[in-house]
Amino acid sequence: MKREDAMDYRLDDSLVLAAGTGKAVRMRAGQRLKLTNPFGTQAIDFWAFTQADIYEFTSMDNFRSVHSTVHVTSDTPLVSTKRRPLVSIVEDTSSGRHDTLLCACNADIYRQLGVTGYHRSCADNLHKGLAELGIRFPVTPAPANFFMCVDVRADGSLDRLLPASKPGSYLVLQAEADIIMAFSCCPQDITPINGEDRTPRDCLIDIFSPAGSA
């Protein structure tokens, strides 16, 4: 947490987002969530859904339309399908590279990469995380990909870069409405999007509430 906020928030919960797995958590407006990347290499696919209407969720196409950028920063909150801010980055010690262009990895991607059996995916992790909260959702929305470095070249093609964050880098996300935040510690171990050694790794989640709140 920012030093000036240290007295204003209390730690409610901490959990490990195990390599290759996902988790969804309910967040009230004003709560904050610290997402730590202990190795600096791990990409985290992210979604938020409003608790009032599961069909209002973070929208990458609306994000790019509202902010005229492809990168999520502290100046560009993630907006919903109704163009409302749902999640802001209030602190970021990472490389500051967070992608909004690439889809969540899914069974079809792994099949195209030559996997014949089951392979964990960010899409499955989203739906498993929501299912743990008793929620079924019919599709996989486009994620924000925290810590994932993707550049747009001048000719419009995409450059998938290696992770660029230092070990221990973290983001602090603030819920701007009562929402569900869903995370997938990307299980991609065939391409180097999670680092040259192609090894998914654990990340850490800490949840904070404003001091004095219930």
- Contacts with Zn ion by CB under 5 A lie at 105, 122, 186, 188
DSSP H/E element including 144: strand 144-146
Residue 157: count other Cβ atoms within 10 Å of its Cβ.
8
For the CB of residue 44, give the shortest distance to Zn ion in the complex, in Å. 9
For the CB of residue 145, give the shortest distance to Zn ion in the complex, in Å. 8
Rg (CA), the chain: 16
For the CB of residue 150, give the shortest distance to Zn ion in the complex, in Å. 13
For the CB of residue 106, give the shortest distance to Zn ion in the complex, in Å. 8
Closest to Zn ion by CB, 78 vs 186, is 186
For residue 93, what are its two tokens?
A: 């010690």
Closest to Zn ion by CB, 175 vs 185, is 185
Main-chain dihedrals φ then ψ at residue 77, nearest 5 degrees: -60, 150
Burial of 55: CB neighbours in 10 Å, binned 0-12, 13-18, 19+: exposed
- Which amino acid is residue 175, in one-letter code? A
| Cα-based torsion angle of the residue sequence 7, 11, 17, 18 in order, rounded to the nearest 10 degrees | 110
Closest to Zn ion by CB, 77 vs 143, is 143
For the CB of residue 158, give the shortest distance to Zn ion in the complex, in Å. 16
Closest to Zn ion by CB, 125 vs 169, is 125
Closest to Zn ion by CB, 11 vs 16, is 16
